[in-house]
Amino acid sequence: MTSAMQNIFQTAKIKDLAQNTVEVTAKTGLTTDHGVPVADTDNWLKVTNGQNSGPSLLEDQIAREKIHRFDHERIPERVVHARGTAAHGYFRVFDDRAAKYTSAAVLTDSSRTTPTFVRFSTVQGSRGSADTVRDVRGFATKFYTQEGNWDLVGNNIPVFFIQDAIKFPDFVHAVKPEPQNEVPGGQSAHNNFWDFVGLQPEASHMVMWAMSDRAIPRSYRMMQGFGVNTFTLLNGEGKRFFVKFHWIPELGVHSLVWDEALKIAGQDPDFHRKDLEEAILNGAPPKWTLGIQVIPEEREHDFDFDILDATKLWPEELVPVEEIGEMVLNRPVDEFFPETEQVAFCTSHIVPGIGFSDDPLLQGRNFSYFDTQISRLGINWEQLPINRPVCPVMNHNRDGQHQTRITKGRVNYWPNRFEAGPPIPPNHGGYVEFAQKVEGIKARVRGAKFNEHYNQAELFLNSLTEYEKNHLINAFSFELSHCDDAQVYETYTKLLSTVNLDLAKTVAANVGGQIDESSTRRPHGQKSAALSQLHYAPKKPTIKSRRVAILLADGFNGTEVTAIRAMLGAAGAVPFLIGPRRGKIYPAGQAIGGDGGVLVDHHFEGQRSTMFDALLIPSGKESADMLMASGRCIHWIREAFGHLKTIGAIGEGVEAVRRALKLDVTQLDFASLDDSAVTSSYGVVTTGKYKATSAATDMLEVVTG
Ligand code: HDE
């Protein structure tokens, strides 16, 4: 890391973590945990006759310590969202435009840079599961504000499966691996999940999202984040507003195609982890805009859905999103366990100016998160370096396992004769709850409007493009085909009939399900533009951080490849050379094995097209001939084409693409091989000769478009 980069990364939190950070170098000698220098870490103390090694001695305190420490390395994984990855960053508001809604300085003071730490995750799989499975993604943000930590623990889907927190254990038991055999890992395609959601109609809206492309993101950097629950904002005049939080990615919302996701899960299970780190280290730190949807208190009941129901979103046509600030993630963690694994979020962690609502899912979450951290990390989990605030912490909570704070003074209670550790009054920043009027009887009930479960499921479906709908049908078909209990898939396709009869008929026909035409619900036919991913095409298209594979062999056109690599690099893309061996290969005109040549990043077998966003086949007859003769290279081209990747080809490379795809000129809109680059409607860019303005430039446009 350059010193200039180090300066950028020094937020208050990074400086705070430095107190606990050590570095292993050749100069830091080995010691025991109690600091005694260790001379031999390879041989247990033994009795020996000089020739043979005899019994190991229990007295070896150095060996015992090493083994003890190892035996206890594991802690319980998160009960959900076990697999994740994280990065540091910062948040800034554009100006004080949100001051009309809230007094929270983090949301209104544009002179501040608030350090953040974000953990992205999948939900179902265990710590070692694959990244690209079909699942909801967690998007949990810790803001280290000057008034304490604010945790916005969100997902990449704006609604949830259930309305009331008391159903959470049932839902999680149903989606997680089944109890008798712990199958499946990292998948919701099994009887118990579909059994539960088929009997729990309130899940129908969320299930539509989970079967859409949202559940197979291309990258954590290319997905939205949503607070999901309804929170409240309190302004300086004491007026309260309901609020939903949105993260909108600068790069737009993009997904994998399902076949790609399945393959990557095997080929590179850490695909999303690596992607985040690679982008940051390559100078393309991901950025999100923070948006808020705000409803004044007096309008709470103006909608035909309950605004406190987490299975409903607030259509943006009714409640527009106001963009108030942005977050950049610009620093990977130094060590996974103390940072990514030990970070602990709590929805109950809010700061003055932000409050809760009576959303019954949120209220249960506010209990659950703190509780789960106790079994995962112990009662003093908030003192762990990654969790501790950057502002002063002082109270009379004491002791407990792993207490690290030494509080000087003679009292640990309030009130005390020294007036030590006094409460901070509201006019000095003390948190005050909004004086909400509450009346009613105790009962196990839900609000009346919570009973409608299908209108927004239909709204979501209506809002998708044709190809998004096809993906949805295929996802339902994949998942329900994995259920082998007929009662399960028949129940679900019947339920789907109430959302949309045509959808239900298609899915039922695919999976052997049944439809139910008895529903009295009348389709409303409405759409909401912001529900399709297409709505989130990037404001400024960019090829930054996109991975481009250049497929080539000895005899490629050297000048062309040098120029194209430079161009892609200058535009922020990450070019990789993929060749017949991971070593030097030689352009036309250079002797094989001579001084020249270029170093190839990967062998054809070492990676697959799924790991790249685009493919380029340069000119050079020998190179193209070799590619055409290789089944693996033909597979590279066909697979990339099948996954709708941009393919660029120049000169003889065009012939290689054409032969691999077994398509003739007219079918692909290939141009005659002249100097000008041509982009076909399939995203195949071809040109006769390399020109600075031809294939590579067009490719940039196609990849980013
Ligand atoms: Fe969570 N959830 N959740 N959840 N959740 C946890 O807390 C819970 C819900 C979300 O990267 C657990 O620290 C209940 C909605 C994320 O560390 C646990 C209910 C949303 C993460 C828990 C919900 C989320 C968690 C497990 C229903 C989207 C990972 C480990 C009432 C807004 C945070 C942990 C990280 C983690 C409980 C529903 C998001 C058990 C009871 C809705 C992103 O406390």
Please write the tens of the pLDDT for every residue from 352-405.
999 999 999 999 999 999 999 999 999 999 999 999 999 999 999 999 999 999
Name the residue among 32, 5, 73, 657 with its Cα closest to residue 332: 5
Residue 51 within any structural domain of the chain: yes
Rounded CA Rg of the chain: 29
- Residues 613 and 671 both lie in one domain: yes
Residue 380 a catalytic site member: no
Residue 259 within any structural domain of the chain: yes
Domain end: 383, 418, 452, which one? Answer: 383
Q: Residues of the chain with pLDDT > 70: what percent?
A: 93
- Residues 65 and 124 both lie in one domain: no
What's the mean pLDDT in 428-433?
95
Residue 483 within any structural domain of the chain: yes
φ and ψ at 630, to 5 degrees? Answer: -105, 120
Helix, coil or strand: residue 394: coil
Q: How far apart are CA 151 and CA 117, in angstroms?
A: 10
Tokens coding 310: 């987490």
Q: How far is CA 310 from the centre of its chain?
A: 20
Under the banding of pLDDT at 50, 70 and 90, the label for residue 663 is: low
| Contact 84 CB / ligand 1 (< 6 Å) | yes
φ and ψ at 296, to 5 degrees? Answer: -65, 150
- Residues 216 and 355 both lie in one domain: yes
The per-residue pLDDT of the chain, averaged, comes to 93
Q: How far apart are CA 195 and CA 31, in angstroms?
A: 55
Residue 444 within any structural domain of the chain: no
Under the banding of pLDDT at 50, 70 and 90, the label for residue 190 is: very high
- Residues 102 and 166 both lie in one domain: yes
- Residues 143 and 282 both lie in one domain: yes
Q: Is 369 annotated as a binding residue?
A: yes
The Å distance, Cα 116 to ligand 1 centre, comes to 18
The Å distance, Cα 137 to ligand 1 centre, comes to 11
Domain end: 383, 406, 423, which one? Answer: 383
Position 540 scores a pLDDT of 82
Please write the tens of the pLDDT for every residue from 467-522.
999 999 999 999 999 999 999 999 999 999 999 999 999 999 999 999 999 999 99
Position 697 scores a pLDDT of 57
Which residue(s) pair with 289 in the sheet? 248, 326
The string of DSSP codes covering 78-92 is PSSS-SEEEEEEEEE
- Residues 480 and 576 both lie in one domain: no
The Å distance, Cα 80 to ligand 1 centre, comes to 7
- Residues 39 and 173 both lie in one domain: no
- Residues 31 and 162 both lie in one domain: no
| Contact 670 CB / ligand 1 (< 6 Å) | no
Please write the tens of the pLDDT for every residue from 527-553.
999 999 999 988 888 899 999 999 999
Report the CATH number that the domain containing residue 611 is assigned in CATH. Answer: 3.40.50.880
Catalytic residue, candidates 149, 155, 330, 380: 155
Domain count, the chain: 4
| Contact 261 CB / ligand 1 (< 6 Å) | no
Task: For residue 605, give its domain range.
Answer: 547-704
pLDDT at residue 689 is higher than 60 = no
pLDDT at residue 1 is higher than 60 = no
- Ligand 1: which residue has its CA nearest to atom 24? 154
Residue 399 within any structural domain of the chain: no
Position 52 scores a pLDDT of 86
- Residues 498 and 362 both lie in one domain: no
Please write the tens of the pLDDT for every residue from 78-133.
999 999 999 999 999 999 999 999 999 999 999 999 999 999 999 999 999 999 99
- Ligand 1: which residue has its CA nearest to atom 30? 78
Contact 178, 194 (CB under 8 A): no
What's the mean pLDDT in 426-452?
95
- Ligand 1: which residue has its CA nearest to atom 31? 165
Report the CATH number that the domain containing residue 43 is assigned in CATH. Answer: 4.10.91
Residue 451 a catalytic site member: no
Position 661 scores a pLDDT of 85
361 CA closest ligand 1 atom index:
31
Residue 181 within any structural domain of the chain: yes
- In terms of phi and psi (left: phi > 0; alpha: psi -120 to 50; beta: otherwise), the region of 620 is left
- Residues 41 and 92 both lie in one domain: no
Position 542 scores a pLDDT of 87
Report the CATH number that the domain containing residue 200 is assigned in CATH. Answer: 2.40.180.10
Report the CATH number that the domain containing residue 484 is assigned in CATH. Answer: 1.20.1370.20
The Å distance, Cα 680 to ligand 1 centre, comes to 45
pLDDT at residue 688 is higher than 80 = no
Q: How far apart are CA 187 and CA 372, in angstroms?
A: 23
84 CA closest ligand 1 atom index:
11
Residue 434 within any structural domain of the chain: no
Domain end: 39, 71, 103, which one? Answer: 71
- Residues 233 and 337 both lie in one domain: yes
- Residues 560 and 518 both lie in one domain: no
